[in-house]
Structure 1
Amino acid sequence: MHGKKILITGGTGQAARPVAEALAAGNEVWCLGRFGTPGVEDELREAGITTYRWDMGEDTLESLPDDFTHVMHSAVHRGYDGDFDTAIEVNSVAVGRLMTHCRKAESFLHVSTGAFYKRQSLDHRYKETDPLDGVADWLPTYPVAKIAAEGTARAYARTLGLPTTIARLNISYGPASYGGVPVMYFKQMLAGEPIPVPVEGQNWASLIHTDDLVHQVPLLWGIATTPATVVNWGGDEPVGMTDCARYMSELTGVEAKFVASEVTRETYAFDSTKRRELIGDCTVEWHEGIRRTLEVHFPEVLGKGVPA
């Protein structure tokens, strides 16, 4: 993708930042956000990205240009305080404002989540047509707010005639930002803290590496339609998260401790058939991706374990 004017929200995050930095090489890229982490705004600017301060819960977009060709909306108000009403209000209104402001765009990518599927068996591979319920004990407001935001994206895609893709993101991981859930788990391992796991079985996920995120965003823009295209966005192969922690232990020699719990950070494995038919396969196999991620985030630790 070259010569486009691209708008990305949540540009400091695990998923969106590497996309923004990669696209800045051949396009005019703008990132919207609060930029609360010291130095992060300067880092984006050094990468050739134009920054624009936007608190999605309070600010309008009146002074922002409206001639963007492509938009990726990745910012989210998670609602850690448990306030459902505010979480729904902030996320839904932000989507409406952004899509209205950028109604002239060629395509709009709304980053949704798979965390709102109705829980079935732990190893069930969820399809886009599976039922939703928005229940997540580990962060109750998050899936409810994401359902509301997805509904807004669907409505505005139709009313504005704005070609839209709604991509339900699984767990992204890799060298960028904080590294994703696998890095969170490994930090717990380093601290000697047990990882909560289900009483029976293990949580499964469809991990997707930074490289595949970067490659697939232009492809997701390319399949945008009115009404919106809805697609699961995750890796090609389901990964057991307990297996993932054990693999990191094999690589590094750092013990992985587990504690059975009724409440865990639930993850979901996707059926990737629709995504693969629309935009093709992923390129990074998860063992390779985890190794590469640890090499960047923990270079002093990797290599002390038993080679996999």
Structure 2
Amino acid sequence: MITGKKILVTGASGSVGRPIATALAADNQVWGLARYTDPDAKDRLETAGVRTIAADLAALSADDMRGLLPEVDHVLHFAIDMFDEPDFERTMRHNIEPLGLLLSRYRDVDSFLHCSSTVVYEAHPEPRAEDDPLGDFMRPVNPTYSLSKIASEAAVRSVCRLLGVPTTIARLNVPYSVDSGFPMMNLTSILAGEPIAVHPDFPDVFAPIHVYDMIRTLPALLGAASTPAAIVNWGGDEQVGLSEWCTYLGELSGREVTFLQTQQAVKGMCPDVGRLRELVGGPVCSISWRDGMRAMVEASAAASRTAVDAP
């Protein structure tokens, strides 16, 4: 585990950054940077011992970053500006340009982890390894997302080499926890009686990874940081279909699950996690997808009971 370190987590109020910042704060000095449009998110992090920094990376100059951001040993970059409209200029300003400035600010860190995504790969029915072709995977659903992730990786790789910053680019697949992630979105739809969109002509297979196992694998990912940047798929050991886990969520919650076949649905994207297993020295996951998603359903049901019982 990581202990006694100074760590900056960007995107600390997000569904991935929040639990990771909270867990690391138990044994490290952790700063959580986010816009904090939800004050409750800021309060929860501070209660857990995270030192919060309310700022928008896209609005910070290089001088701002030097003055505002603390000296740390490690940077975990999860921040991303998500929006639906196909605004490529905004994508470059908000998600690409700040990366170069952030890496320049932290040119002396022990390691810089940039959280990318497996949506950088070209659509393919077989698991994708780190050196497989890249492509515009998400265009039917979000026209800017895949291209922005590829551009982000290009920026990170260039500045990493230019400044000699030990870097890991982790291509994340489907993270989830008891209250967040793609499976949680599916559960919310199932409970609301809404259909689950699936692609009619493409496998729906992914490799979900519980946030707890993401935290377990962090030391290995940070330890792999290098110049040029190390590139590692970040997903679970088990390959499972969206329709399979949604059917399971329906069984656990006692709800009928309906599927809507549409070309606008996300295609399956399953990473090959062999490189990550080598870094970890064994299996990636300690929590199977069935156990993790069962806990998610139980937590959702408990939250619903609490809401009903509240005065």
TM bin (shorter chain):
over 0.9
8 A contact 1:78–1:141 mirrored in 2: no
Residue among 135, 140, 144 paired with 1:141: 144
Does residue 62 (structure 1) correspond to residue 66 (structure 2)? The answer is yes
Aligned counterparts of 2:55 and 2:101: Cα–Cα separation in 1: 12
8 A contact 2:202–2:267 mirrored in 1: no
Superposed counterparts of 1:86-101, under 5 Å: 86-101=90-105
Aligned counterparts of 2:27 and 2:304: Cα–Cα separation in 1: 36
Compute the displacement of 1:56 (Å): 1.9
Compute the displacement of 1:48 (Å): 0.8
Structure 1: which 4+ aligned runs deviate by more than 6 Å? none
- In structure 2, give the amino acid aligned to 1:75: A
Compute the displacement of 1:202 (Å): 4.1
Gaps of 5+ in 1: 303-308
Aligned counterparts of 1:301 and 1:53: Cα–Cα separation in 2: 31
- In structure 2, give the amino acid aligned to 1:133: G
8 A contact 1:67–1:104 mirrored in 2: no
Does residue 43 (structure 1) correspond to residue 44 (structure 2)? The answer is yes
Superposed counterparts of 1:117-128, under 5 Å: 117-121=121-125, 124-128=126-130
Identity of aligned residues (%): 38
Residue 73 of structure 1 is matched in structure 2 by 77
8 A contact 1:194–1:256 mirrored in 2: yes
SS state of the match for residue 30, structure 1? strand
Corresponding pairs, count: 298
Residue among 115, 119, 128 paired with 1:115: 119
Compute the displacement of 1:26 (Å): 1.1
Does residue 254 (structure 1) correspond to residue 255 (structure 2)? The answer is yes
SS state of the match for residue 115, structure 1? helix
Aligned counterparts of 2:278 and 2:3: Cα–Cα separation in 1: 25
Residue 232 of structure 2 is matched in structure 1 by 231
Does residue 297 (structure 1) correspond to residue 271 (structure 2)? The answer is no
**291-300 or 209-218: bigger deviation:** 291-300
User: RMSD value over aligned CA atoms?
Assistant: 1.6
- In structure 2, give the amino acid aligned to 1:217: L
Compute the displacement of 1:300 (Å): 6.5
Compute the displacement of 1:148 (Å): 0.7
- In structure 2, give the amino acid aligned to 1:222: G
SS state of the match for residue 145, structure 1? helix
Q: Go from structure 1 to structure 2 and tell me whether the alpha carbon gap of 1:142 and 1:25 turns closer, same or farther (over 3 Å shift).
A: same
- In structure 1, give the amino acid aligned to 2:136: G
Aligned counterparts of 1:48 and 1:66: Cα–Cα separation in 2: 16
SS state of the match for residue 32, structure 1? strand
8 A contact 2:199–2:265 mirrored in 1: yes
Residue 7 of structure 1 is matched in structure 2 by 8
Aligned counterparts of 1:41 and 1:243: Cα–Cα separation in 2: 35
- In structure 2, give the amino acid aligned to 1:161: G
Residue among 106, 112, 124 paired with 2:110: 106
Aligned counterparts of 2:4 and 2:95: Cα–Cα separation in 1: 30
Q: Deviations over 1:149-201 (max 9, x none)?
A: 111111111111110000000010012xx411111111111111111112146
Aligned counterparts of 1:62 and 1:107: Cα–Cα separation in 2: 18
Does residue 160 (structure 1) correspond to residue 163 (structure 2)? The answer is yes
Residue 283 of structure 1 is matched in structure 2 by 286
8 A contact 1:150–1:166 mirrored in 2: yes
Compute the displacement of 1:85 (Å): 2.1
The TM-score normalised by the length of structure 1 is 0.93
Aligned counterparts of 2:110 and 2:244: Cα–Cα separation in 1: 41
Residue 309 of structure 2 is matched in structure 1 by none
Aligned counterparts of 2:33 and 2:248: Cα–Cα separation in 1: 37
SS state of the match for residue 8, structure 2? strand
Residue 131 of structure 2 is matched in structure 1 by 129
Gaps of 5+ in 2: 306-311
**163-172 or 40-49: bigger deviation:** 40-49
- In structure 1, give the amino acid aligned to 2:256: E
SS state of the match for residue 244, structure 1? helix
8 A contact 2:6–2:30 mirrored in 1: yes
Q: Deviations over 1:254-304 (max 9, x none)?
A: 1111111111033411111111011232211110111112222233779xx
Compute the displacement of 1:59 (Å): 1.9
- In structure 2, give the amino acid aligned to 1:130: D
Aligned counterparts of 2:162 and 2:29: Cα–Cα separation in 1: 28
Residue 25 of structure 1 is matched in structure 2 by 26
**250-259 or 292-301: bigger deviation:** 292-301
Aligned counterparts of 1:245 and 1:172: Cα–Cα separation in 2: 15
Aligned counterparts of 1:209 and 1:69: Cα–Cα separation in 2: 25
Does residue 170 (structure 1) correspond to residue 173 (structure 2)? The answer is yes
